[in-house]
Copies of this chain bind each other. A is one copy, B any other.
């Protein structure tokens, strides 16, 4: 993702949101990503390091190389890793479509919340595949804003979410990419593709998720594109504000919120797939 194409922007608040998000969802999304000691792992698109720190903590004996196209993001990520006292991450600036690594360099590749921002996610996966050793695995985690539903229902809240989806599409991304991970990895030539959906379900009996996910992660993310939404989408300020209010409304005693992330794994098999040219 290039600097100006990141739909959520590069502010401090956004950086904080990404860190909150990573903390709340750690167990749900990351706890089963365990690489053997001595593995070399490429994190493609590390951003500000919100996932890097989890990956590095969960795999203290793996050697992680984290790349991103944005130097500013890399500097923040380095700061987070240094602060956490972790020594198993090397940072490197690079474009996911032409990374400076030879074929067969890595045992594993990890890609989290990156494909959603790319106009050509399949091509990115095709470019990553040969960087794996044969038998090496890729892990991809993405959300899907079309998976969000809630109680009380609200067409205004839905409209606000639709605005975010549209803004991301206008920037070449796809906020509904989670559901597509299976066909994407297959088309990019990976074998043994397995997708595991991870639903966040929050009601009043789970106050940590209400606070950490509905408020600090999802609604903060929608709210964060407010100015752009009102500039570019067909939504009035009044409807937008009602939509955000109705998203917060789902946090009350009788509210419910559901959202699904998708985690996919695939293997670089011996048999060349469709993309054997890659």
> Interface on A for B, CB 8 Å cutoff?
144, 146-147, 149-151, 153, 176, 179-180, 182-183, 186-187, 193-197, 199, 201, 203-205, 253-256, 258, 260
Contacts and interface: CB of A to CB of B under 8 A. Distances in A.
A195 B197 CA distance: 18
Contacts of A180: 151, 256
B256 A179 contact: yes
Q: Which 10 A-B pairs rank lowest in CB-CB distance, beginning with the nearest?
A: A183-B254, A182-B203, A197-B201, A151-B179, A179-B256, A146-B149, A151-B180, A197-B199, A199-B199, A182-B256
Contacts of A194: 205
A260 B199 contact: yes
6 contacts: A147-B149, A149-B179, A182-B205, A186-B253, A193-B205, A195-B256
A175 to B, nearest CB: 12
Contacts of A253: 183, 186
Nearest to A262: B201
A196 B199 CA distance: 10
A183 B258 contact: no
Contact of A150 (B179, B204, B255): B179
